Structures are given as C-alpha cells and as structure tokens.
Amino acid sequence: MSGTDSTSPLWEVFVRARRGLAHTHVGSLHAPDAELALRNARDLYTRRQEGVSIWVVPAAAITASSPDEKDAFFDPAADKVYRHPTFYDVPDGVAHL
Amino acid sequence: MYGNDFSAPEDAPGGGLLGEVAAAEAALRAAATRQRGGGPGPDADLEAYFADVIDADQKIEPRDWMPEAYRKTLIRQIAQHAHSEIIGMQPEGNWISRAPSLKRKAILLAKVQDEAGHGLYLYAAAETLGVSRDELVQLLLDGRQKYSSIFNYPTLSWADVGVIGWLVDGAAIVNQVPLCRCSYGPYARAMIRVCKEESFHQRQGYEILHTLAHGTLEQKAMAQDAVDRWWYPSLAMFGPPDGDSTHSARSMAWKIKRFSNDELRQRFVDMCVQQAEILGLTLPDPDLRWNEQCQAYDFTEPDYAELMRVISGEGPCNRQRMEHRRRAHAEGAWVRVAAAAYAAKRSTAREAVAA
C-alpha cells in the first residue's frame, strides 16, 4: 500500500455488487483526484456489470490493524465465549429459543 | 477439490477452465476458514508462522512477515506479468482499425481494454509488496524487466487475431489457472479476475478461426498459415524445459508456482489437439501423436534457442514494441501532468473555501 506514485495517489476501491449487499473491497488504482478515481474504478472494476455502486477511498486515509499485532489486538474477544449463543446449555424440550 | 489443482471436468462447476477458476475461488474461501494445526502464533516465530500458513494452503497477506527472497520473486514475477499484459495490447491493437466488421471491431476493442485492465490489476498486486507502479513502469521502459516473449512476434493477418485468442490466450490460461491458488493473496485474487475474463478472449479467438476455417479456401489458408506461425512460439510461452528452469524449485516450495513448465506445456498440447480437429486445421508437427502408455500426446519441443534469442531482444518485433511503449508513455506525459495540476487546483480551491 505504498502510494508513492508521483502525480497519482493510490485509491482503494469498494463495490456494491447488488442491492442488499455491502460494499466489498475489490482492489486499488491510481488517480489524481476522487472524480477520476471513480471513473477509473468504473472502467477497471465494473466492465461486466459487477456493481451498482462504487466507493473510492484514498489508501493513505485508511488506518489498519496490522496482522503482526493480531494476538494482542484481538485478545479481548478471545476469552468471551459467552458472547456466542453456543455457550449456553438449552434444556431438552425448550422450543423457540 | 482441495489439494488437486486440476479437478476433473465433471467435478468442476461449469466445467472446463472457468470451472477450474471457480474451484480455485472456492478453495481460497475454504482455506481461509480452515484452522491451522495449532502452529506458532504470528508473534512467536515469524519464519515458522510463514511456513505454517503456506503449509495450510492459506494466503500470505501484504502486512505479513515474508522472506525477502519471496517478496523479490513475487515482485519480479507479477511485474513481468503486468508488463506482458500492457505490451500484449500492441499486436492486437494493430488490427482494431482493420477488423472485418463493426461487431469484430467492438469485440477486439473490448478485449484490448481488458488487457490494459489486467495489467492494472497486476501492478496493483505488485504495489502491495512495497514497490510503486512508477518504478515498475520505469524498469520496463529501461529494458531492465522483461515481458512475455510471445508479444515480439508480428500479427500479419486478421487470422493472427484469432490465433492469439485461441493459442496465446489459451497457453496463458493454462499457465494462469494454477496461479489462482498462489500463496500470495493479492496475486491469487487478481488472477481469479484475470482468468474469468481471459476465457472470453480464448473463445472469441476460437470463433474467429472457426469462421475463417469454414469460409472460402483463401480464408481457411489464412487461418492455417496463422496456426503454423504461432504454434511453436505458443509452446515456448511455458518457458525453458524443467531441467533449465532457474526459479522453479523454490517457487514450487513457496506455492507461488504449482506445476512445472513441462507439465503445463503437455497439458496445453493435450487440450489443443482436439480443438484443432474441430477447426479442421492442422497443428504443424508431423510427430504429434497419441502415446497410449503415457496417456498424453508426444510432440516436438519448440526451439528453445530461438526463445532465448527473443527474450534477449532479438525477436522480430522487440525494438518496435519497446519504441512504441516509450513513445506512448512520453506522449501521455502531458495528460498526467494536467490531471495532477487540475487536482491540485481543486484541492487549493477547497482549502480556500474552508478557510
């Protein structure tokens, strides 16, 4: 994710494939501004009707949790199995639970 | 499907090459949800963690630790692949203005635009490894990085456009379908996109040839002539024989590469024989025959000395291709500068409004 291109910064592209689906990251591209980034994204990632909506985000504006920090960063979720419904014993014969 | 890159056609959803791409995509999803065998965590031992992810057929992602040689190998391979897509626009672009009908012209335009798109997917994948597209483009223009030798052959007739789709894109797909399972995530995902689009390219080429081969005698002769000229250069696209291939063994261990050059070449020959029969065209190899014992075709190897000459710059069109690319890059400079100036002007105007 090095956006070092001299005149054209790097943009990350997200496409909503159909109504009802979330925007999904599809790739990246270079463009001098947001308007051209959108046009380039349309030409590059939706030539075959892959989407009904596009977001472009400057790659430099994304703050990422690095996989290197994976253990520490996601630790708070590791010891809270009671957040999952499968943690609980359901007595036999109970319906609609 | 898992662990078997070339699934039998009957297993593959949709069958054929598209089915194999779909299978690779499904395997990518399956591997992502599979637990690894309790190996070291990402903080414990970087090298062991890397090996564990590769063993589990999961993907290495941009911010993961990776051996420097793995990074370098990928940059070299992905960049060369991207350059090939960009240079590959030239031989076919040569026929856009002379396509025999409006329909053929529109299709060829779309195909050449796809090639540009493939180049861009691949440059973007390479950039995740910490190199910039500007640097890679400069390496191509300086002749310090290569592109596929096949694009140094000329397109002399309209039938060549058909043969490029059938044989050249066909060989590229045989090479690229296993790359959909490459261990580096961004490359694997780019290859899935590329392969899905390439299968349209291959079919449009085959259709052009089928039309010509069933047309007038002159048209059929033109198709045969194109097959005669492109067959051996297409076989050479798989690279030198396994014994002489310099990067193969380590790339196989890292799961960047899944099959050897010779295995892929054999698979390509076995696919083409029946397709040529249906076209009613002859592959220019008198020694091509079914080998019952090997359950594969015996064939004449391409001239690898010629391959080496073309790679080193002595092919029929090397100079023309590079001159054209350098000129196009130089003549496009004002567009890049103007777009950057416009973007700068607009962002200054916005700041002025905000203040």
In a 3-state reduction of DSSP, which class is residue A51?
coil
- The domain in which residue A17 lies consists of 8-72
To the question of pTM greater than 0.90 for the whole model, the response is no
The answer to whether residue A68 scores a pLDDT higher than 70 is no
- The domain in which residue B103 lies consists of 15-315
Mean pLDDT score, B293-297: 96
Nearest Cα to Cα of residue B226 among B159, B281, B305: B159
Same domain, B311 and B321: no
Phi, psi (deg, nearest 5) at residue A25: -65, 130
Query: Could you tell me which residues come within 8 angstroms of residue A70 by beta carbon, excluding any fewer than 6 positions away?
Result: B41, B42, B43
Q: How confident is the model at residue B33 (pLDDT cuts 50, 70, 90)?
A: confident
Measured in whole angstroms, the distance separating CA B150 from the mean position of its chain's CA atoms is 11
Same domain, B236 and B160: yes
Of B41, B124, B193, the CB nearest to A29: B124
Residue A48 placed within a domain:
yes
Residue B92 placed within a domain:
yes
Residue B3 placed within a domain:
no
Of the listed ranges B14-18, B73-77, B176-180, the least confidently predicted one is B14-18
Residues B134 and A6 sit within 8 Å (Cβ to Cβ): yes
Mean pLDDT score, B316-339: 96
Phi, psi (deg, nearest 5) at residue B205: -65, -45
B172 to chain A, closest Cα gap in Å: 21
Residue B56 placed within a domain:
yes
Residue A2 placed within a domain:
no
Taking one residue from A and the other from B, the number of pairs with CB-CB distance under 8 angstroms is 72
How does DSSP classify residue B305? H
Residue A1 placed within a domain:
no
Same domain, B238 and B336: no
Percent share of chain B, pLDDT over 90: 74
Residue B62 touches partner A, C-beta closer than 8 Å: yes
Query: Could you tell me which residues come within 8 angstroms of residue B205 by beta carbon, excluding any fewer than 6 positions away?
Result: B161, B162, B163, B164, B165, B166, B167, B169, B170
Biggest CA–CA distance in chain A, Å, is 67
Mean pLDDT score, B299-306: 97
Q: How confident is the model at residue B25 (pLDDT cuts 50, 70, 90)?
A: confident
Higher-pLDDT residue of B232, A3? B232
The answer to whether residue B51 scores a pLDDT higher than 80 is yes
Residue A91 placed within a domain:
no
The residues facing B297 across adjacent strands are: B290
Same domain, B137 and B40: yes
Residue B127 touches partner A, C-beta closer than 8 Å: yes
A97 to chain B, closest Cα gap in Å: 27
Same domain, B165 and B48: yes
If phi > 0 it is left, if psi is from -120 to 50 it is alpha, else beta; for residue B16 that is left
Residue B4 placed within a domain:
no
Interface test with A, best of B107, B131, B132, B345 (most A CBs within 10 A): B132
Give the pLDDT confidence score for residue B165 in this predicted structure: 95
Mean pLDDT score, B215-228: 98
Q: Which residues of B touch A32 (CB under 8 A)?
A: 336, 339-340, 342-343
Give the pLDDT confidence score for residue B38 in this predicted structure: 53
The answer to whether residue B11 scores a pLDDT higher than 70 is no
Give the pLDDT confidence score for residue B151 in this predicted structure: 97
Percent share of chain B, pLDDT over 70: 92
If one counts the domains in chain B, the total is: 2
Give the pLDDT confidence score for residue B129 in this predicted structure: 96
Same domain, B128 and B198: yes
Helices (DSSP H) in chain B: which residue ranges?
A: 16-33, 46-55, 68-87, 89-93, 102-127, 133-141, 158-163, 169-176, 185-213, 217-236, 248-253, 261-279, 304-309, 318-331, 333-354
Higher-pLDDT residue of B324, B46? B324
Neighbours of A53 (CB within 10 A): 13
Mean pLDDT score, A54-73: 81
Percent share of chain A, pLDDT over 90: 53
Residue A52 placed within a domain:
yes
The answer to whether residue B355 scores a pLDDT higher than 80 is no
Give the pLDDT confidence score for residue B4 in this predicted structure: 34
Determine whether the interchain pair B134/A36 forms a contact, defined as Cβ–Cβ distance below 8 Å: no
The answer to whether residue B166 scores a pLDDT higher than 60 is yes
If one counts the domains in chain A, the total is: 1
Q: What is the dihedral of CA B156, B159, B160, B164, to 10 degrees?
A: 170
Q: Which residues of B touch A67 (CB under 8 A)?
A: 42, 61, 63-64
Give the pLDDT confidence score for residue B162 in this predicted structure: 97
Q: Which residues of A touch B134 (CB under 8 A)?
A: 4-6
Amino acid at site A68: D
Same domain, B118 and B263: yes
Neighbours of A28 (CB within 10 A): 26
Q: Which two tokens stand for residue B14?
A: 């949709």
Average pLDDT, chain B: 90
In a 3-state reduction of DSSP, which class is residue B250?
helix
Highest mean pLDDT among B38-42, B139-143, B339-343 belongs to B139-143
Same domain, B57 and B158: yes
- Residues shown for chain B: 355
B246 to chain A, closest Cα gap in Å: 30
The answer to whether residue B134 scores a pLDDT higher than 80 is yes
Of B62, B120, B337, the CB nearest to A29: B120
The answer to whether residue B223 scores a pLDDT higher than 90 is yes
Give the pLDDT confidence score for residue B42 in this predicted structure: 58
Residues B212 and B223 sit within 8 Å (Cβ to Cβ): yes
Amino acid at site A44: L
Same domain, B234 and B325: no
Calculate Rg over the CA atoms of chain B.
Answer: 22
Of A2, A64, A72, the CB nearest to B127: A2
Give the pLDDT confidence score for residue B39 in this predicted structure: 55
Same domain, B277 and B352: no
Q: Which residues of A touch B127 (CB under 8 A)?
A: 1-2, 10, 28
Closest chain B residue to the Cα of A33, Cα to Cα: B343
Determine whether the interchain pair B343/A43 forms a contact, defined as Cβ–Cβ distance below 8 Å: no
The answer to whether residue B16 scores a pLDDT higher than 80 is no
Closest chain B residue to the Cα of A45, Cα to Cα: B117
Q: Which residues of A touch B339 (CB under 8 A)?
A: 7-8, 31-33, 36
Same domain, B153 and B34: yes
At A17, which CATH number? 3.10.20.520
Determine whether the interchain pair A33/B124 forms a contact, defined as Cβ–Cβ distance below 8 Å: no
Query: Could you tell me which residues come within 8 angstroms of residue B137 by beta carbon, excluding any fewer than 6 positions away?
Result: B123, B329
Give the pLDDT confidence score for residue B8 in this predicted structure: 38
How does DSSP classify residue A13? E
